[in-house]
């Protein structure tokens, strides 16, 4: 199945107050919408925005942006039409003002779509329900069978596209549109943290929830060795250094970058370079190692992780690493798309002991810390 995500962010959110629509107001130092987009890292995302927010959206999101309509249903319809003809088989539709949606909720919706054409997360209503007028209770309501709806709501793509194209009145959400078209909608468990920011006080509540969340921190280590061979240069941490010898390897033998790549895979419990890029495959003969490192970072971000820091130690007598360490840091930072301050490269010798001491090759150790946020 091919899945796409539509994130709706075209509303004005006047009830939240502030000088900006709620999706553009800051939450823990970043726009609300930035947190929402991060929750769907690795998915094919279409973002619907108000025309007044187009330039702001472009500065935040490099994917496909679609102008929304007069109401939510019109905005979703525009997003669906933008995805038509691309081979999408299922679609998730999510409120841009729900920045705390967790992967567990997303996965539950996707799992339900294996057996249903529509599925949505919800929480059963547990509070007593009243009717009221003029500040007084005028009656009660039975809460049996009532749920609080959440997003993302998931659908068979063609089914929900057809439903929206034939529905021309405002709708509370996409489940209403789907049911009007005769689709059965499966209910999956929602999450109390998956709140929709509506009022000014919701921002403080969301920030408190973010602080309470257990931060998922992962540490990985990598080690690699390459022997010297005939040559006139070596590649180390993405930087070319003139040398009296080369390094022997199936790819470009960048021992530092290989160790760092394996550290990232290790933090993800995702195997090693050899599993993702088998040396038995001739297409990787002589390949530039930045391909491997970029792949590891792509897999990390697809699971919602980013690099907190990394540290590479090169073990050799020669070449001297110190004069090149800053260039190496810059190269690694650029490949991984992170700030330079998150990357450390240093060197040591083995005091003339062992194969590195005999100048038979170079070894490298690396550590990488990934943080999910």
Residues 276-312 have pLDDT tens digits of: 999 888 888 888 999 999 999 999 999 889 999 999 9
pLDDT the model gives residue 169: 86
Placement of tokens 């689709």 in the chain: 183
Q: Is 84 exposed, middle or buried (0-12, 13-18, 19+ CB in 10 A)?
A: exposed
CATH topology of domain 3-212: Spore Coat Polysaccharide Biosynthesis Protein SpsA; Chain A (3.90.550)
The segment(s) of the chain belonging to CATH 3.90.550.10 are: 3-212
Contact (Cβ atoms closer than 8 angstroms) between residue 247 and residue 362 = yes
Identify which of 268, 236, 234 has the alpha carbon closest to the alpha carbon of residue 248. 234
Q: What is the mean pLDDT of residues 14-20?
A: 82
The segment(s) of the chain belonging to CATH 3.30.1330.50 are: 216-372
Q: How far is CA 221 from the centre of its chain?
A: 22
User: 170 pLDDT band (50/70/90 cuts)?
Assistant: confident
| Beta strand 3-9 pairing with 90-95 | parallel
From CA 188, how far away is CA 173, in angstroms rounded? 16
Q: The whole model's pTM is what? A: 0.60
User: 250 pLDDT band (50/70/90 cuts)?
Assistant: confident
User: 209 pLDDT band (50/70/90 cuts)?
Assistant: confident
* Cβ density class 146-178: b for 16+ within 10 Å, e for less: eeebbbbbbbbbebbbebbeebeeebebbbbbb
pLDDT the model gives residue 122: 98
- Is the pLDDT reported for residue 14 higher than 80? no
pLDDT the model gives residue 214: 54
Q: What is the mean pLDDT of residues 33-51?
A: 95
pLDDT the model gives residue 373: 61
- Is the pLDDT reported for residue 92 higher than 60? yes
- Is the pLDDT reported for residue 266 higher than 80? yes
Residues 127-153 have pLDDT tens digits of: 999 999 999 999 999 999 999 999 999
The CATH number of the structural domain formed by 216-372 is 3.30.1330.50
Mean pLDDT of the chain: 94
- Is the pLDDT reported for residue 323 higher than 80? yes
From CA 311, how far away is CA 329, in angstroms rounded? 10
pLDDT the model gives residue 204: 92
Angle CA 320–326–329, to nearest 5: 110
Contact (Cβ atoms closer than 8 angstroms) between residue 362 and residue 226 = yes
Using a pLDDT cut of 90, give the percent of the chain over it: 86
From CA 184, how far away is CA 194, in angstroms rounded? 23
pLDDT the model gives residue 257: 97
Q: What is the mean pLDDT of residues 229-247?
A: 94
Q: What is the mean pLDDT of residues 52-67?
A: 94
Cβ-based neighbours of 169, under 8 Å, separated by 6 or more: 73
Identify which of 306, 324, 301, 357 has the alpha carbon closest to the alpha carbon of residue 254. 324
Residues 329-339 have pLDDT tens digits of: 999 999 999 99
pLDDT the model gives residue 150: 98
3-class SS string, the chain: CCEEEEEEECCCCHHHCCCCCHHHCEECCEEHHHHHHHHCCCCEEEEEECHHHHHHHHHHCCCEEEECCCCHHHHHHHHHHHHCCCCCCEEEEEECCCCCCCHHHHHHHHHHCCCCCEEEEEEECCCCEEEEECCEEEEEECCCCCEEECCCEEEEHHHHHHHHHCCCCCCCCHHHHHHHCCCCCEEEECCCCCCCCCCCHHHHHHHHHHHHCCCEEEEEEEEEEEEEEECCEEEECCEEEECCEEECCCCCCCHHHHHHHHHHHHHCCCCCHHHHCCCCCHHHCCCCCHHHHHHHHHHHHHCCEEEEEEEEEEECCCCCCHHHHHHHHHHHHHHHCCCHHHEEEEEECCCCCHHHHCCCEEEEEEEEEEEEC
Cβ-based neighbours of 335, under 8 Å, separated by 6 or more: 238, 290, 293, 294, 297
pLDDT the model gives residue 346: 97
């Amino acid at each position: 199945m091919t899945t796409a995500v539509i994130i709706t962010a075209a509303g004005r959110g006047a009830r939240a107050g502030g000088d900006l629509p709620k999706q553009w107001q800051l939450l823990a130092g970043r726009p609300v919408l930035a947190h929402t987009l991060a929750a769907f890292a690795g998915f094919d995302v279409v973002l619907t925005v108000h025309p007044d927010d187009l330039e702001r959206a472009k500065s935040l999101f490099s994917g496909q942006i679609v102008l929304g309509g007069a109401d939510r249903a019109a905005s979703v319809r525009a997003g669906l039409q933008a995805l038509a003809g691309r081979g999408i088989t299922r679609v998730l539709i999510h409120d841009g003002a729900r920045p705390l949606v967790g992967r567990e909720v997303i996965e539950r919706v996707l799992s339900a779509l294996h057996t249903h054409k529509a599925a949505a997360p919800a929480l059963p209503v547990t509070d007593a329900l009243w009717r009221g007028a003029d500040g007084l209770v005028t009656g009660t309501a039975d809460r049996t069978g009532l749920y609080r709806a959440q997003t993302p709501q998931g659908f068979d793509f063609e089914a929900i596209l057809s439903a929206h194209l034939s529905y021309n009145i405002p709708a509370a959400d996409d489940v209403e549109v789907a049911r009007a078209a005769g689709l059965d909608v499966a209910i999956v468990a929602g999450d109390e943290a998956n709140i929709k920011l509506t009022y000014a006080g919701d921002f403080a509540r969301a920030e408190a929830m973010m602080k309470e969340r257990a931060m998922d921190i992962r540490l990985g280590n990598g080690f690699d060795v390459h022997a010297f061979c005939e040559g006139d240069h070596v590649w180390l941490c993405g930087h070319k250094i003139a040398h009296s010898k080369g390094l022997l390897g199936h790819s470009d033998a960048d021992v530092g970058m290989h160790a760092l790549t394996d550290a990232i895979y290790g933090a993800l419990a995702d195997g090693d370079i050899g599993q993702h890029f088998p040396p038995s495959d001739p297409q990787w003969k002589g390949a530039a190692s930045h391909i491997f490192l970029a792949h590891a970072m792509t897999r990390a971000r697809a699971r919602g992780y980013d690099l907190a820091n990394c540290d590479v130690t090169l073990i050799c007598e020669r070449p001297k690493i110190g004069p090149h360490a800053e260039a190496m840091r810059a190269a690694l930072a650029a490949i991984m798309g992170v700030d330079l301050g998150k990357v450390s490269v240093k060197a040591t010798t083995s005091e003339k002991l062992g194969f590195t001491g005999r100048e038979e090759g170079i070894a490298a150790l690396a550590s990488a810390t990934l943080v999910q946020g």
